Structure 1
Amino acid sequence: MIRINLLPVRDLQKKEKIRDQLLIAALALVVVLLGCGGLYAFASMKISAEKNAIQTAENEIRNLQKTLGKIAEFKKLQKELEGKLGVLQKLKENKSGPARMLDELASSVNDKVWLISFVENNGAISIDGVGLNEQSVASFLQRLEASPNFRNVELSVTELTSGKGMRVQKFKATCRVQEATPIAQTASSK
């Protein structure tokens, strides 16, 4: 059967135009939505990557802070050990110091001089003794002055006394203990 289109042609063209415009608008909307979705996904990936980088940096900072704490602890321990070594060194020096000092004193005394007292207080030494004559006392003081362990040897009192049928020269002398040079310094200066 034959059909006859009774609708005007313009109405048909209008409907087709509207349909085409709706199709183009829908297509444009889909393209815009896809573009926005792609940008969102790209931004999300970038944010995630930056968060991971920040987390890695924070972990590294924590590790470095732990290391700095250990370094500070080691420095404190090193300082403490250096102090202990200094005390040990001083003890070593002081251990042999009095023995050397008394040895030097004994070698300075001859058979014409007798010591009555020897007092050391904070490096100051007071010596009381007797000698057969002034020459023996002077000889003792000269040997004491020549000793490396004593300095500033001074005769403070000398007095002629009699005792047990003999005339002897009683004397008092003062001096200072020579500070011992550390072993490490003498070795490095050679």
Structure 2
Amino acid sequence: MSEDPHLLFDHWMAEAEAAEPNDPNAMALATADAAGRPSVRMVLLKGHDARGFAFYTNLDSRKGGEIAANPKAALLFHWKSLRRQIRIEGALEAVSAEEADAYFATRSRDSQLGAWASDQSRPLADRETFEVRFGAMSDRFAGSNVPRPPRWSGFRLTPERFEFWSDRAHRLHERRIFTLADGGAWAEGLLYP
């Protein structure tokens, strides 16, 4: 077993990519506003390396506002078919403009246009309003590349704690934790099920 939680994550993610039928990179992202009111939603992991775990969003969305007010978060990967989950906690920071541009360029054209058309998390009177806005963006960028909207970017969670959970019979689960110690080394331990 690995003593580096990033390498262990890579191993588990590779197994999930081979076994999960849909979106093995789906993760629950929990944030809280300035008053501590929590909210959670599913997002997609779009990058992982030694610096952390990256995802992208509209900065004016509810999650964007919560991150601006309280830049701490938790992630949860749950792979039911493997009977495993990983919890990760840490601080969030914005990705660079270059990273956001590079990722945005990989999205489908309709996803790019949708990022321009959507006021994510804001009230919407009816679906037709959004579809009209989407059509207007399609016309606006006809014949050209779609640039990244100024209000759309990404965040990276820098881990301070990992928990690797494996299901066991009779609820005698295995819970392996890693916490970031002073000096940047990982301290490893176990938790009772």
TM-score by length of 1: 0.31
Task: Compare CA radii of gyration and give the structure with the larger one.
Answer: 1
TM-score by length of 2: 0.30
Point out the structure with the larger strand share: 2
